[in-house]
Amino acid sequence: MKIAVAGTGYVGLSLATLLSQNNEVYALDIIPEKVEKINKRISPIKDEYIEKFFKEKDLNLKATLDYKEAFKGASYVIISTPTNYDEEKNFFDTSSVEDIIKKVKSMNDDNITMVIKSTIPVGYTNKIKEQYKIENIFFSPEFLREGKALYDNLYPSRIIIGEKSERGERFAKLLMNSAEEKDINILYMNSTEAEAVKLFANTYLALRIAYFNELDTYADKKGLNTKDIIQGVGLDPRIGTHYNNPSFGYGGYCLPKDTKQLLANYKDVPQNLIEAIVKSNNTRKRFISEDVLKLNPKTIGIYRLTMKSGSDNFRSSAIQDIIDIIKENNKKVIIYEPTLSMEKFNECKVENDFNKFKKESDIIMANRMSNELYDVKNKVYTRDLFGRD
């Protein structure tokens, strides 16, 4: 079966890699360098399993810049283009999704089914059906971690299909047949409910992070042992020990924008908790900033803009807002981020000589502790208690 995947970020590339084990897959992108890398079996994103599959597997995968080549004869077009959150409109920017929809429509092929994997507002798929007078489209959410996207597709927690139909069942089987896990929960529902599942799931994860961060803030202000409290709380099996490691705040590609979009979707619906999650994250970032400023360092070093191990993405990372707060207080900031080739980021010096970075920094802020920082651990400011993301 021919399948096209539009967009080669974490979601798109992991799906293209997964499905190309058993199907003819075309990956569409607008960046020539990414297309060239994929065709040379060089992953343009950091993901251990994608890199492994590119080296070891015989994948029927071709990347292209030509949407007609990608879409012609395809049974499914998976839309996984970015949908960044527009702060002014309080809405995801879905223009890239609609661009793909228009391109598929131009093919005049009723046999193509579009599957939206991009994160979208609740009610979006139905709105698009009406706007473009189409029926060959449904939503199917992804639940992936940065750096482990292919692994999470190989061993999915669940597969959710936003349509109760034969073509929905066929698509679920495509995902199942390419996964390593065989005992997978599959749920079929309408696209609007599937859209809500995605936003509510990510907002709950943000809630957990915010909760344990506020626990840590309380313990720090009261002179208590945060680790002991978290371990005692987490041993309750109803609570558990996942997503409980304090951090500088939740960030990344999904959680900040998904929580804000869900809050926007609550317009005219009573709520207190969803808004509190968004506000809590902002409060945490300001607390962390002020905690460091109290130490009165001359130069503050930022160890990595990426907020978790195994990721090369620092989009919307909490540390960037913290940098802005620190700069407002006229402190010098230098950044160690080996994935950056530029000399400055956000008007701050990027120092990729690690020894020089350690020497110049009076305080080193690290969202997650690293072995390479242990020789200067007396300089390190972190809230990492468990050595995991």
Q: Which residues are catalytic?
A: 254
Using alpha carbons, select from 316, 346, 317 the residue that is nearest to residue 334: 346
CA distance 195 to 12: 18
CA 119 to chain CA centroid, Å, is 10
Q: Which residues of 163-179 are buried (b: 16+ CB within 10 A; e: fewer)?
A: beeebbeebbebbeebb
Let me know: does 134 contact 100? Beta carbons within 8 Å.
no
Query: 3-class DSSP state for residue 358?
Result: helix
> Which residue intervals of the chain are DSSP H helices?
10-19, 32-39, 48-56, 67-71, 95-106, 124-132, 149-154, 166-178, 191-222, 226-234, 255-265, 273-293, 318-328, 354-360
CA distance 102 to 107: 9
Q: Could you write out the DSSP letters of every residue in 57-77?
A: ----EEEES-HHHHHTT-SEE
Using alpha carbons, select from 250, 262, 252, 254 the residue that is nearest to residue 200: 262
Let me know: does 363 contact 294? Beta carbons within 8 Å.
no
Q: Position of tokens 């626990």?
A: 215
Strand partners, 211: none
Q: Could you write out the DSSP letters of every residue in 16-32?
A: HHHHTTTSEEEEE-S-H
Query: 3-class DSSP state for residue 187?
Result: strand
Q: How far is CA 326 from CA 52, 119, 300, 357, 369, in A?
A: 40, 32, 9, 18, 21
DSSP 262: H
